[in-house]
Homo-oligomer: A and B are copies of this chain.
């Protein structure tokens, strides 16, 4: 039985990914900042290392979480921009950099970026920046992974499930059901592709 580690498994997206993995008879271990089977602070390399030391025999690592800072550009500063850099960009990248030494042969990493790098929204520059970084990192790093390990990113649109809450921000975006997004995480994690960005727009 294959085993997946889903980081951020208790959010809207994470829960949908977990359900989808179970449809495919994959054993799921979840980790999160305050919930999940294990606790992990993505901003701490010690915490990520500890997670991989503790949770062994993992085939699929899926990240469905990452904090970004939304602010008008005039109010975006070198300091508050670091919330996105640490919380979403380096958090995910470090999971790959550390996890590459632990994950099973022929395993996979799936990271999450987002649509606003392609279609910016007001206050979204910091988030767009990290999304672009994640996709470019996944594309470049994938080719250097050993032992048949794969790496992709998934860039989702606004979810149908969050559309009412965010429709004033994601103006005119056509939301997608989170179940569709979760399915694409499965495609990335269990399929054969690598070095790809799966855009669900």
Partner-B contacts on A (CB < 8 A)? 45, 72-74, 76-79, 81, 85, 89-90, 93-94, 97-98, 100-101, 116-117, 120, 122-137, 139-141, 143-146, 195
Contacts and interface: CB of A to CB of B under 8 A. Distances in A.
Given A85-B90, A117-B140, A73 B98 contact: no
Contacts of A77: 97
Contacts of A127: 140
Contacts of A72: 144
Contacts of A73: 97, 100, 141, 144-145
A198 B79 CA distance: 28
Q: Is the interface of A mostly helix, strand, loop or mixed?
A: helix
Contacts of A132: 132-137
A125 B100 contact: no
30 contacts: A45-B79, A72-B144, A73-B100, A74-B100, A74-B101, A74-B144, A76-B97, A78-B94, A78-B97, A81-B90, A85-B85, A89-B129, A117-B136, A117-B139, A120-B139, A120-B140, A122-B143, A124-B140, A125-B141, A128-B136, A128-B137, A128-B140, A129-B136, A129-B137, A129-B141, A130-B133, A131-B136, A132-B132, A132-B137, A133-B136
Contact of A140 (B78, B85, B129, B137): B129
4 closest A-B pairs by beta carbon, nearest first, are: A132-B136, A128-B140, A133-B133, A73-B144
Contact of A78 (B98, B117, B123, B139): B98
Given A98-B78, A136-B133, A144 B128 contact: no
Contacts of A126: 137
Contact of A137 (B79, B94, B123, B125): B125
A138 to B, nearest CB: 9
